[in-house]
Chain A
Amino acid sequence: MTHEPQPQDAAGVQARSYYGRPVLKVTRWREPHLPAYLFLGGLSGASATLAAVAACTRRPRLARAARLAAAGGALGGTGFLVAELGRPERFLNMLRVAKPTSPMSMGAWLLAVHSGLVMAAAGSDVTGRLRRTGAAAGAAAALTGPVLATYPGVLLADTAVPAWHSAYRQLPFLFAGSAMAAAGASGLAATAWQRSGQDEGEPALRLALLGAAVEAAAGLHMEHRLGLAGEPYRDGDSGRLMRASHTLTLAGAGAGVVMGVASRSNQEAARRGSQGTATWWSRGTATLCAALLGGGALCTRFAVLRAGIASARDPKYVVEAQRRHPVPSADDGQGGAR
């Protein structure tokens, strides 16, 4: 029963531990609940923003598609959030207090308000009733939406989990980019199937491409600039999911670019009076683009959860990081013996 020799990493920092056991609790958040909530919440937030701007610029079909995506995302996301709880029947206890120190408390209130707004906007749009109220709710959701899409970065970072806490600068941008990509792509697909004009689909396509670029940049930054805490984003299960996400996002962006070029030539053809290329082609490409970008966004959320789990499970992420960056005043507390 002798103590095993302590492993040493390349930097020569000894990673001592209690029989290699975790210092932290491995999170109780699980698949698919947490990643699905993050994905749907992001989709809802970015879609609400897209819908508001589309409505402002008189693009009714894109606005309706984005409102429906926002409402569906909020509804589905809330469902996953409730199912994640150990006591789902006590979900409303979330609204018992409003605690600025708890990102989950802030997020629960935000989700409650946002869901109400996007449901009102979508309901009014579909039924044609209370149009002014619906439009006002839709406009207000443009304020809650961007925060709903990015606050999960704070939710995850405000933990002791090394891969999450160390990434508090990147996570909100990762989630924002990923949400923009998913919302843009779903708007693009919806407008393609509705035979909307290019004028409606093109902003959605550009949003998807912008989001894909932001998501990829933030992801790469996390993988390479976080030092030890970035390792789980490159290695193991979580690393593979991160690479899958990059691949899907890149392919989705490629499909989007093809779609954009085709759509422009389509427009040229229409201007000359012909019917242009077959609509099935543009529908197919738009759907493919949405599936790839949506898949990439979903993979990102799974990768982030698994990276957190990996970094909580291996004590080296806690011990080495705290040995390398000690809080100056804390050393006194360790006694003079070290």
Chain B
Amino acid sequence: MQRPVADVVAEAGYDDPPERVGFFTDTSVCIGCKACEVACKEWNALPGDVSGDSWASGAASLSAAPPDALALTGMSYDNTGQLGADSWRHVAFIEQQVPAGHGTALALADDVAESDGTRWLMASDVCKHCTHAACLDVCPTGALVRTEFGTVIVQPDICNGCAYCVSACPFGVIDRREDDGRAWKCTMCYDRLRGGLEPACAKACPTDSIQFGPLDELRAAAAARLDELHEAGEASARLYGEDPDDGIGGAAAFFLLLDEPEVYGLPPDPVVTTRDLAAMWRWAGGAAAMLAAGTVAVFARSRV
């Protein structure tokens, strides 16, 4: 369950499945237009983001009133804030001061030179559709399943809203919609994939920052793009989530970033929590044995 899996779809029990597909999000060409967010909302008929307290928790308390869909964050041009039950694409917007000699030769070099050294980073985040998916592992009802495309989706007719997946996801992607009581996240447009179409976000992206396709092809394209950026002097460019040997067995939705992952709100080195599950049960078993033995012992001594 933890080490690289050659074929995660076949392992899930599909005979003769289609190729595993994914997203390669090249943030170096993202212009922050949020067409992906809008296309996703429209295709999947997502409500305005009112799902509340996680949103407010960055700065304010849990009990703070949730903003409505038109609220402004006041921190940047990003007014979506994060992925959630009602936002399955989220465009992060980062404004930062770039020190001289930082090595941003390509991406925004002209802008940086002309201005005061400020640069903008934009990145469209999405569910990673992990090879070792913690949400899928911990779901007690079987509502979360691996599809024939290798993606991970929630079946809304099964989910009973236990919210285990919410705490298990190392990326903070999936969330429960409070008015509806169920967990929701990106399906990689499962309905469109079944119909032979690409997901709505990738279709809408005007710069091809969001690329959709078979995972093997995307990985090759990403490696080529990374080389291209490095050769052009963009030394801080790196891939995130594409390595099948990482803590989640590689993501089906991976990224090319221009700074550390945490700057974009991504965990630097996520690990699927179920990797330690056997050890957890061993410790719980030890504690249970202690409880039983202790209970017997307190009686044994009472005849003295």
Q: Which residues of A contact B (CB under 8 A)?
A: 1-3, 16-29, 45-46, 49-50, 53-54, 57, 84-88, 90-91, 93-94, 96-97, 99, 101-105, 107-108, 142, 145-147, 149-151, 153-154, 157-161, 164-165, 168-169, 172-173, 175-176, 179-180, 184, 199, 202-204, 206-207, 210-211, 214, 308-309, 312-313, 315, 318-319, 322-323, 326-327, 329-330, 332-338
Q: A97 to B167, Cβ gap below 8 A?
A: no
A158-B168 contact given A19-B58, A86-B161, CB 8 Å threshold: yes
Given the contacts A20-B59, A176-B290, A50 and B276 also touching, CB distance less than 8 Å: no
* Minimum CB–CB distance for B180 against chain A, Å: 7
B226 near A160: Cβ-Cβ < 8 Å: no
Provide the bound-state CA to CA distance between A172 and B280, in Å: 9
B91 CB to closest chain A CB (Å) equals: 12
| Contact in complex: B75, A19 (CB < 8 Å) | yes
Bound CA span A161–B235, Å: 33
Partner of A101, one of B1, B141, B160, B173: B1
> Please, how many angstroms separate the alpha-carbon atoms of A289 and B289 in the complex?
26
CA distance A204 to B169 in the complex (A): 41
Determine whether B199 belongs to the interface, using a CB cutoff of 8 Å to chain A. no
30 contacts between A and B (CB under 8 A): A1-B95, A17-B263, A17-B265, A22-B57, A24-B170, A25-B167, A25-B175, A26-B57, A29-B163, A53-B296, A85-B160, A85-B161, A86-B182, A93-B143, A97-B142, A99-B140, A102-B140, A104-B140, A105-B141, A146-B292, A147-B288, A149-B288, A149-B291, A157-B273, A158-B276, A159-B138, A168-B276, A172-B283, A319-B262, A337-B235
Query: How many angstroms from the CA of A94 to the CA of B169 in the assembled complex?
Result: 20
Taking a contact as CB atoms under 8 Å apart, the answer to whether B92 and A25 are in contact is: no
| CB proximity of B173 to chain A, nearest CB, Å | 8
Checking B57, B82, B141, B163 against A96 with a beta-carbon cut-off of 8 angstroms, the contacting residue is B141
Given A102-B137, A176-B288: A26 and B62 interface contact (C-beta under 8 Å): yes
Q: Which of B13-21, B29-37, B209-217, B242-250 touches A? A: B242-250
Whole-angstrom distance between the Cβ of B194 and the nearest chain A Cβ: 24
Contact mask B192-228 → A, CB, 8 Å, 1/0? Answer: 0000000000000000000000000000000000100
Contact B163 A86 (CB under 8 A): yes
Q: Is B246 in contact with A207, judged by CB distance below 8 angstroms?
A: no
Q: Does the CB pair B97–A161 fall under 8 Å?
A: no
For B53, the chain A residues whose CB sits under 8 A away are 26
Which B residues are closer than 8 A to A by beta carbons?
1, 53-54, 57-59, 62, 75-76, 81-82, 84, 92, 94-97, 118, 134, 137-143, 158-164, 166-178, 180-183, 226, 230, 235-243, 245-247, 260-271, 273-274, 276-277, 279-281, 283-292, 294-299, 301-302
- Docked Cα-Cα span, A203 to B296, in Å, equals 9
Chain B residues near A173: list those with CB within 8 A.
Answer: 283, 286-287, 290
Contact A85 B181 (CB under 8 A): yes
**Alpha-carbon distance between A204 and B226 when the two chains are bound, in angstroms:** 67
Nearest-CB distance from A215 to chain B (Å)?
11
- How far is it, in angstroms, between the C-alpha of A172 and the C-alpha of B283 when the chains are bound? 7
B residues less than 8 Å from A161 (CB atoms): 167
Q: Are A332 and B245 in contact (CB under 8 A)?
A: yes
7 cross-chain pairs, A with B, having the tightest CB-CB distances, nearest first: A86-B161, A335-B238, A86-B181, A333-B243, A18-B265, A172-B287, A90-B160
**How many Å lie between the Cα of A203 and that of B273 in the bound state?**
39
Tell me how far the C-beta of A179 lies from the nearest C-beta in chain B, rounded to whole angstroms.
7
Contact residue among B172, B176, B271 (Cβ-Cβ distance under 8 Å from A24): B172
A residues near B76, Cβ cutoff 8 Å: 1, 19
Chain A residues positioned under 8 Å from B166 (CB to CB)? 25, 27-28
Q: Are B118 and A2 in contact (CB under 8 A)?
A: yes
Q: List A contacts of B82 (CB < 8 A).
A: 21-22
Given A27-B166, A337-B235, 6 extra CB contacts under 8 A? A101-B1, A150-B291, A157-B276, A158-B276, A160-B170, A334-B240
B291 touches A203 (CB 8 A): no
**Complex: A85 Cα to B178 Cα, angstroms:** 11
* Contact present for A2 and B291 (CB under 8 Å): no
Task: Tell me if B142 and A169 are in contact (CB < 8 A).
Answer: no
| B241 neighbours in A (Cβ, 8 Å) | 333
From A183, which residue of chain B is reached at the shortest CB distance? Answer: B295
Q: Is the CB of A179 within 8 A of B284?
A: no
Compute how far the CA of A203 lies from the CA of B304 in the bound complex, rounded to whole angstroms: 12
Question: Is A172's CB under 8 angstroms from B286's CB?
Answer: yes
Are B264 and A18 in contact, CB atoms less than 8 angstroms apart?
A: yes
Chain B residue with Cβ nearest A20? B58
Q: Note all chain B residues with C-beta closer than 8 A to A315.
A: 262, 265
Q: Are B160 and A93 in contact (CB under 8 A)?
A: yes
Residues on B with C-beta less than 8 A from A103 are: 138, 277, 280
CA distance in complex: A332, B284 (Å): 35
Determine the chain A residues whose CB is within 8 A of the CB of B239 once the complex forms.
333-335
Which partner residue on chain B sits nearest A335 by CB separation?
A: B238
Q: Are B167 and A159 in touch, CB under 8 angstroms? A: yes
Closest-CB distance, A216 to chain B (whole angstroms): 15
Residues in A neighbouring B279, C-beta threshold 8 A: 168
Would A153 and B302 be within 8 Å (CB), given that A25-B175, A335-B226, A335-B237 are in contact?
no
Asked whether, in the complex, the Cβ of A150 is within 8 Å of the Cβ of B287, the reply is yes
Q: Give the docked Cα–Cα distance between A22 and B54 (Å).
A: 8
Alpha-carbon distance between A327 and B92 when the two chains are bound, in angstroms: 26
